[in-house]
Amino acid sequence: MNDRTENDKTPRVVWITGASSGIGAALAHEFSARNDLLVLSARRVDRLEALAAELDGDVFVLPLDLTDFESHAVAVKTVLDRFGRIDILVHNAGISQRSLVVDTELSVVRRLVDVDLIGSISLTQAALPTMIEAGGGRFVVVSSLVGLFGTPKRSAYSAAKHGLHGYFESLRAELYGRGIRVTMVCPGFVRTEITYHALTGDGSEQGTLDRAQAEGMKPEECARRVVKAIDAGRAQVLIGGREVAMAWIARLAPWLYRRLIRRVAVT
Ligand code: NDP
């Protein structure tokens, strides 16, 4: 079982994608403080090694490109050779979007879907057999509030994040009896590098920090809430400030959401 009280310090093997910055790096600190064994993955290995040096305990740096699907089976085997099991796989890596539908090239849509949806599905399919064989495990899926409703300038990002909900709700239903659990995480605005790397319509990075993120929650606070939700065995958690209200409006009064979302500031 992965779910536990704060006093339970039994180490879990936790694999975090997108650990080289932002929420992923903050999650690494949070799990490390709880005595867990960590696998840190992303493309920027220098960042991962610098983070590993800051953390106590057993930390394994495993370079990974989510879009290099063929490498995922080998990555899983490498983790199993090192730790023997995967208790929690945190699908956190992602890139965002800042472009209108009419300005966005199809190649950019595909890139967003590959990183934000297919990459996590591919890694899940590679890791799932060993987790089932071990009697269970938890997928923690960092989606977004935009995984629950659409906003302007995020069409492909929102499509990919919605896709994560469809995939992992199906997986949850199919594998409940075999000990596989899922926590969907839907953050609002968090102060990370996400807007610098967000893709514009031609695929170039935006390169600037949006005001909403600059004024958003600190990644450390977001990570604290994520780990609390995992320990409580939550199926889904919404994390953010006032922007979380839109998720409830979209669910309870969709007509109102459709009016509001045309006008709200999303950057
Ligand atoms: P950051 O930009 O700080 O972190 C993104 C991480 O994803 C980096 O570690 C990056 O590592 C990794 N990544 C990007 N592309 C790839 C790839 N092809 N293969 C492997 N890793 C990749 O942003 P956040 O910390 O904010 O984002 C974390 C998650 O939170 C994302 O899924 C994002 O969508 C979600 N989120 C963030 C919100 C926010 O306001 N910040 C709001 C809602 C959701 P590297 O470049 O080294 O590969």
Rounded-to-10 torsion of CA 229, 237, 141, 19: -60
Residue 169 and residue 171: Cα distance in Å, rounded?
A: 5
Nearest to 266 by CA among 105, 111, 98: 98
Cβ atoms within 10 Å of 207's Cβ, excluding its own? 10
Task: Identify the pLDDT of residue 244.
Answer: 97
> Six-digit token pair at 3?
């779910």
Name the pLDDT band for 2 (thresholds 50, 70, 90): very low
Across the chain, what does the average pLDDT equal?
A: 96
Tokens 């967000």, residue?
198
Domain presence at residue 195: yes
- Ligand 1 centroid from CA 39, angstroms: 16
Domain presence at residue 252: no
Is 176 among the residues known to form the active site?
no
Domain presence at residue 2: no
pLDDT tens-digit profile of 60-82?
A: 999 999 999 999 999 999 999 99
Instruction: Please give the average per-residue pLDDT across 19-27, as a whole number.
Output: 98
Ligand 1, residue 43: give the atom nearest the CA: 48
Domain presence at residue 251: no
List the CATH number of the domain containing 237. 3.40.50.720
Name the residue with higher pLDDT: 4 or 36: 36
What are the residues whose beta carbons fall under 8 Å from the beta carbon of 124, sequence distance 6 or more? 89, 91, 139, 167, 171
Domain presence at residue 172: yes
Name the pLDDT band for 7 (thresholds 50, 70, 90): low
Domain presence at residue 7: no
Residues of the chain with pLDDT > 70, as a percent, come to 97
Task: Identify the pLDDT of residue 225.
Answer: 98
Domain presence at residue 68: yes
Which 3 state secondary structure label does DSSP give 72? helix
Tokens 């045309």, residue?
262
247 pLDDT more than 60: yes
Residue-number span of the structural domain to which 36 is assigned:
13-242
Name the residue with higher pLDDT: 237 or 8: 237
Task: Identify the pLDDT of residue 10.
Answer: 84
pLDDT tens-digit profile of 162-219?
A: 999 999 999 999 999 999 999 999 999 999 999 999 999 999 999 999 999 999 999 9
| Total count of domains within the chain | 1
Contact, 188 vs 145, CB < 8 A? yes
Q: What is the H or E stretch that residue 206 is in?
A: none
Ligand 1 mutation pick, 17, 23, 217, max ligand atoms within 8 A of CB: 23
1 pLDDT more than 50: no
- The residues pairing with 88 across neighbouring beta strands, listed in sequence order, are 14, 138
Q: Which amino acid is at 122?
A: S
- Ligand 1 centroid from CA 43, angstroms: 11
CA atoms within 13 A on the CB side of 35: 7
Ligand 1 mutation pick, 15, 20, 122, 141, max ligand atoms within 8 A of CB: 20
- Ligand 1 centroid from CA 204, angstroms: 16
Contact, 160 vs 117, CB < 8 A? yes
pLDDT tens-digit profile of 100-129?
A: 999 999 999 999 999 999 999 999 999 999
Domain presence at residue 211: yes
